[in-house]
Amino acid sequence: MVADERGGGVLQPLDDAGRPTGPAEPVADLAAAVAAREAADRPRWVWATGATLYPALLRAGVRLDRCHDVELTEALLLGHAGRWGEPRSLAAAWARLTGAPVPPDPAPRPPEPPGHGQGALFDAPSGPPGPGIAALTRVYADQLARIAGTGHPGRFRLLVAAESAGALIAAEMGAAGLPWRADVHDAILADLLGEASPVGGPPRRLAELAARIAEAFGVRQVHADSPAELLKAFARVGVELPNTRAWSLRGVEHPAVPLVLEYKELYRIWTAHAWAWRDAWVSSGRFHPEYVPGGVVSGRWATRGGGALQIPKVIRRAVVADPGWTFVVADAGQLEPRVLAAVSGDERLAAAGGAGDLYAALARDAFAGDRARAKVALLGAMYGQTGGAALPALAVLKKNYPTAFGHVEAAARTGEAGGLVRSWLGRTCPPGSVGFGDGDEGVVDTGADPQSPRARAARSRGRFTRNFVIQATAAEWASTLLATLRTELAGARAELVFFQHDEVIVHCPAETAEAVAAAVTGAGERATRLLFGETPVRFPLDLSVVDCYADAA
């Protein structure tokens, strides 16, 4: 499927290998043609990028069942080939196939607050016209062939399907919006921040706290939102701090500390989720963020604006279900440790992963019932906390679960040596030159000074790759859950309205909450089977049926 700026486009049927089975068909009304074909055949749609096409179809009332997103798939395939970060657009993929110069990817679209004007169904593309339907079909066939050539093509197909489904879900959730009570939000802001400043400065509560902080330091004024000024103010009273983060401040005995901590918390709310935010992102009782599936290197989602993935718990009180409706909130507890149990092949850890509380099972099995010590050991192994107080607990973990411990250790050693690691389905980490120094700091020479910048950079990369193999697989499980749940809810009076890492919210009529909760549980079980087959490891979901998001457990 390709679109033009006048609302028309071109459709062409393809076989399972991506070969055309009929002529390209120009259509004057793309949305109507797509709706008719969707109703008749439920095909898997192939398009350059759903980020621009699908929102336009949704505005026309057209919802699709399945798609193959060429742009998202190209990014996955380039990463798998060790070419992470190369242009991934259809035009770039077509140029690579034909040997033409590869154009850079278009600049990301700026976020569009709800209610933005729409002059045409499909926006006119900027710059020269993109490649047409022939290029799309050729690139799609090439992608299918490259997927077949990966080490685990079945897994990689699932990754592509989940990533492409995520593009559909992201657009649908952005269009539906998260129910939001502006009056409740205003009451929360008034209680926390006081009145807004009539001249655009900090609200009353922040202004009062700033004055009290200055008084505690014995000066006339301190810009409490400036880390540099706070560090100087603490230094003047004899307190040297490395930074102004909360964990550093909590170790200091000074009357300014509790005031600064409160100021920092309220300042974040004021700048991220206060009146200006509400005016930009909430309309007609809905918060409409713009999600970016796979926007983080691990495959986790991001947003282009609106802070949907960082809503403070106190602000969640404004997320209230419609009258007669409720929320089913599902949270996957202990997700990453269970992923390690499933992917490592460690039978003893997998057996512990079959319990409702993995840490408690681990404690009974190897840590003399000490749950806290078992948790420290497992998290330390996954996140690279391999020294200090965690060392004795890690020794127990290594002795009793050597296969699981070896799985993350091998990923760390590969990263330290400058190599690439993959998730269970095949998402590949970026090379050391992306975010870890100047490009050669991912390799440590034998006998190198362990305190040198090169060695420290290698250890940092090792911690990243150690967790990447787990966190990226956890993101794949969550995305597969989401795609499966979308299918389960198709045709029901229920809507997916929120997704955050390992948490999903469904907005549904109150009388259907029990059925929706069962669908969520079933989707989690199916996601586990799709990724890991028959495994003793359980991935339980903590379910809450609530009228207000803040009340979810």
In order, the DSSP letters of 452-465 are SHHHHHHHHHHHHH
CA-angle at 330, arms to 328 and 335, nearest 5°: 175
Which tokens sit at 210?
């700033």
Q: Is 434 in the same domain as 508?
A: no
Coil vs helix vs strand at 20? strand
pLDDT in tens, 111-143: 554 444 443 445 444 444 557 899 999 999 999
Kindly give the residue spans of alpha helices, DSSP state H, lying in 177-307: 182-193, 204-217, 227-236, 246-249, 256-273, 275-281
pLDDT in tens, 141-179: 999 999 999 999 999 999 999 999 999 999 999 999 999
How much is the average pLDDT of 371-398? 88
The average pLDDT across 279-287 equals 93
Q: Are residues 458 and 354 in the same domain?
A: yes
Can you tell me which residue has the tokens 């007669």? Answer: 324
Do residues 346 and 470 touch, judged by C-beta distance below 8 A?
no
Last residue of a domain, one of 84, 117, 149: 149
Across 377-381, 441-445, 468-472, 516-520, least confident range: 441-445
Does some domain include residue 154? no
CA 283 to chain centre: 24
74 in the same domain as 127: yes
Give the pLDDT of residue 545.
97
Determine the pLDDT at residue 442.
35
Q: In this structure, are 33 and 131 located in the same domain?
A: yes
> Cβ of 361: how many Cβ atoms within 10 Å?
18
Task: With a cut of 90, say whether residue 446 has pLDDT above it.
Answer: no
- Quick one: DSSP state of residue 551? G
Task: State whether 209 and 306 are in the same domain.
Answer: no
pLDDT at 433: 66
Residue 453, pLDDT score: 81
Same domain membership, residue 364 and residue 433: yes
Compute the Cα dihedral for 428, 433, 435, 437 and give only its sign: positive
Least confident of 108-112, 126-130, 271-275, 419-423: 126-130
pTM for the predicted model, two decimal places: 0.89
pLDDT in tens, 242-263: 999 998 999 889 999 999 999 9
Residue 417 has pLDDT above 50, yes or no: yes
Residue 355 has pLDDT above 60, yes or no: yes
Question: At residue 107, does pLDDT exceed 80?
Answer: no
Which pLDDT score is estimated for 448?
A: 52
pLDDT at 456: 84
Beta carbons within 8 Å of 189's beta carbon, 6+ residues apart: 196, 203, 269, 274, 275
Same domain, 120 and 136: yes
For residue 185, is it within any domain?
Answer: no
Closest residue by Cα to residue 475 from 411, 427, 535: 427
Regarding whether 402 and 423 lie in a shared domain, the answer is yes
Nearest residue to 517 via CA among 551, 536, 492: 492
Same domain, 359 and 416: yes
Residue 382 falls within a domain, yes or no? yes
Return the pLDDT at 200. 75
Residues 461, 432: contact at Cβ < 8 Å?
Answer: yes
| Same-domain check for residues 398 and 501 | no
Q: What is the mean pLDDT of residues 216-231?
A: 92
pLDDT band at 196 (very low <50, low <70, confident <90, very high): confident
SS3 category, 81: coil
Overall number of domains in the chain: 4
| Residues 444/417, Cβ–Cβ less than 8 Å | yes
pLDDT higher than 90, residue 413: yes
Strand ranges, E, within 320-375: 325-332
**Structural domain range at position 74:** 2-149
If you average pLDDT over every residue of the chain, what do you get?
89
Query: Is residue 187 a part of any domain in this protein?
Result: no
**pLDDT exceeds 90 at position 79:** yes
Same domain, 494 and 526: yes
Q: What length is written for the chain?
A: 553
Amino acid 414: pLDDT: 95
Domain final position from 467, 493, 520: 467
The more confident residue out of 276 and 387 is 276
User: At which of 273, 300, 318 does a domain end?
Assistant: 273
Give the pLDDT score at 412.
94
Which pLDDT belongs to residue 403?
96
Q: Which residue has the tokens 């999903």?
A: 504
Show Cβ contacts of residue 265 under 8 Å, excluding neighbours closer than 6 positions. none
Task: Supply the pLDDT for residue 198.
Answer: 80
Q: Residue 189 domain-assigned?
A: no
| pLDDT over threshold 90, residue 387 | no
When comparing pLDDT for 335 and 435, which is higher?
335
pLDDT tens for 19-70 read: 999 999 999 999 999 999 999 999 999 999 998 899 999 999 999 999 999 9
- Predicted local distance difference test score (pLDDT) of residue 435: 52
Calculate mean pLDDT across residues 517-531.
97
Is 210 in the same domain as 123? no
Q: What percent of the chain is predicted at pLDDT more than 90?
A: 76
Average pLDDT over residues 298-315: 89
Tell me, what's the pLDDT at 438? 33
pLDDT at 386: 67
